[in-house]
């Protein structure tokens, strides 16, 4: 009798705890997803909370793959990676998400682009035929990753294509390597495209220098020319590292907008050169300034410091550094500070920069010098 009574109590406890567990999990799944979606860098308490939330979600029986994929929309970049881990776990272990569901998600361009690319890879990694069919219709996809693959796919199929077909691929391309490749293909069929213009490189500059950077410790030294330019009132001449110096006008003919500062300033080492330009746009526009530079550099747009990297000779490429900016209607003043150190190695002699203006996808915006 006592045993039976005890057993009933235990049973009641199990029933109750089961219900409570179900209730609390159902409620906190949403909270846990919110915790992951909102995590920001540099917050260790949030990191610990995210680890706890991820553990809970990882063990949740009722969490659905599509729920996690949809939660990526609007999540912070870091939060999306936490969710990505869960999505991979669910995709691997669950057959709850059917292929039609995933395909529908992939086709829904309102969903998070990175989530959609993840799904695209799941669906097509082992199915090249399906991948090809998808990519044929994805040249203009808002996901830059999908677009990149679609352009690569189109390039592969472009042998014997007409100039118009090649031009369409070029118009779709956003990644610099693909743009360059398509311009070469067009050239082969007799169509010349101005690469620096197509990519939005600024080619005309006024440069002044050299200013002292011996010891590579003048990155944050504010020379008069910098202050004056930011105020909008520059002088014709300034006192430089080797005496008086004046502005030099230069238009680069480099297809990639490279301004060879070393050549213009006699391979000066331990120095700083400023490059300035004005671009005019008909109306205010949100866009990006993107810089490739193997030397330490700062970039100001309309007086606001938007890029600063005190790094010398560790690689350079188009779009190495990017920052969102807002250009105002009319004139916009851009100033670049390029610093060279005193390394003597052959690989440490480059002193150059390239700068372009484009939208967030990498498509050049239109402006007038």
Return residues touching another protein (CB under 8 A): 7, 11, 14-15, 17-19, 21-22, 41-42, 44, 47-48, 50-52, 54-55, 58-59, 61, 77-78, 80-82, 84-86, 88-89, 92, 114, 117-118, 121, 125, 144-145, 148-149, 175, 309-312, 314-317, 320
Question: What are the C-alpha distances in Å from 271 to residues 88, 156, 260, 267?
Answer: 50, 46, 14, 10
Nearer to another protein, 75 or 259 (CB): 75
To another protein, the closest distance from the beta carbon of 283 in angstroms equals: 31
Query: Measured from the CB of residue 92, what is the shortest distance to another protein in angstroms?
Result: 6
Compute the least distance from the CB of residue 259 to another protein, in Å.
19
Coil, helix or strand for 95?
A: coil
Nearer residue to another protein within complex by CB, 47 or 242:
47
Q: How many other CB atoms sit within 10 Å of the CB of residue 322?
A: 16
- Residue 205 DSSP one-character state: E
When the beta carbons of 158 and 216 are compared against another protein, the nearer one is: 216
The distance of closest approach from Cβ of residue 279 to another protein in the complex, given in angstroms and rounded to an integer, is 26
Nearer to another protein, 70 or 121 (CB): 121
Long-range Cβ contacts of 132-136 (<8 Å, 24+ apart): 134/106
Nearer to another protein, 118 or 258 (CB): 118
Residue with smaller CB distance to another protein, 151 or 207 = 151
Q: State in angstroms the smallest separation of the CB of 44 from another protein.
A: 4
Contact by Cβ (8 Å): 343, 332: no
Least distance (Å) from another protein to the CB of residue 53?
10
Between 114 and 226, whose beta carbon lies closer to another protein? 114
In the numeric block, the tokens 């999505």 are attached to 87
Structure tokens at 157: 């199929």
Least distance CB 311 / another protein (angstroms)? 5
339 sits in which H/E element: strand 330-340
CB 163 within 8 A of CB 190: yes
Q: What is the smallest separation between the CB atom of 32 and another protein, expressed in angstroms?
A: 13
Sign of torsion, CA 21 24 27 33? negative
What does R_g of the chain's alpha carbons equal in angstroms?
28
Q: Which residues are bridge partners to 157 per DSSP?
A: none
Chain centroid offset of residue 332 CA: 23
Closest to another protein by CB, 89 vs 349, is 89
Residue 178 CB, nearest distance to another protein (Å)?
Answer: 9
Cβ of 114: how many Cβ atoms within 10 Å? 20
Name which of 311, 297, 295 is nearest 349 in CA terms.
295
- H/E segment holding residue 356: strand 352-358
Nearest to 33 by CA among 72, 88, 61: 72
Q: How many CA atoms lie within 13 A of 172 on its CB side?
A: 26
Judged by CB, which is closer to another protein: 124, or 245?
124
């Amino acid at each position: 009798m006592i045993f039976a009574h005890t057993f009933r109590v235990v049973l009641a406890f199990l029933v109750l705890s089961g219900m409570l567990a179900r209730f609390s999990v159902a409620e906190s799944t949403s909270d846990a997803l919110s915790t992951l979606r909102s995590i920001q860098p540099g917050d260790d308490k949030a990191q610990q909370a995210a680890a706890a939330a991820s553990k809970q979600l990882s063990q949740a029986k009722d969490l659905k793959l599509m729920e996690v994929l949809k939660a990526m929309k609007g999540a912070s970049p870091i939060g999306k990676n936490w969710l990505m881990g869960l999505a991979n776990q669910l995709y691997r272990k669950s057959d709850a998400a059917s292929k039609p569901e995933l395909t529908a998600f992939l086709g829904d361009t309102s969903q998070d682009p990175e989530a959609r690319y993840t799904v695209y890879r799941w669906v097509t990694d082992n199915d090249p035929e399906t991948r090809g069919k998808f990519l044929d219709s994805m040249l203009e996809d808002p996901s830059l990753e999908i677009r990149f693959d679609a352009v690569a796919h189109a390039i592969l199929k472009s042998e014997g294509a007409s100039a118009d077909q090649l031009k369409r691929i070029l118009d779709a391309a956003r990644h610099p390597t693909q743009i360059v490749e398509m311009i070469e293909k067009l050239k082969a069929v007799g169509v010349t495209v101005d690469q620096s213009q197509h990519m939005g490189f600024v080619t005309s500059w006024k440069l002044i220098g050299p200013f002292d950077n011996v010891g590579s410790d003048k990155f944050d030294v504010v020379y008069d020319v910098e202050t004056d330019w930011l105020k909008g009132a520059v002088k014709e001449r300034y006192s430089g590292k080797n005496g008086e110096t004046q502005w030099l006008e230069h238009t680069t003919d480099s297809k990639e907008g490279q301004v060879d500062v070393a050549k213009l300033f006699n391979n000066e080492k331990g120095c700083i050169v400023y490059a300035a330009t004005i671009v005019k746009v008909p109306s205010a526009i949100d866009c990006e300034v993107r810089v490739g530079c193997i030397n330490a550099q700062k970039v100001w747009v309309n007086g606001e410091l938007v890029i600063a990297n005190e790094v010398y000779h560790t690689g350079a490429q188009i779009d190495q550094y990017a920052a969102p900016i807002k250009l105002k209607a009319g004139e916009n003043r851009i100033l670049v500070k390029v610093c060279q150190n005193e390394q003597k190695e052959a690989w440490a002699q480059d002193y150059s920069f390239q700068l372009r203006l484009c939208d967030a996808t990498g498509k050049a915006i239109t402006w007038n010098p």
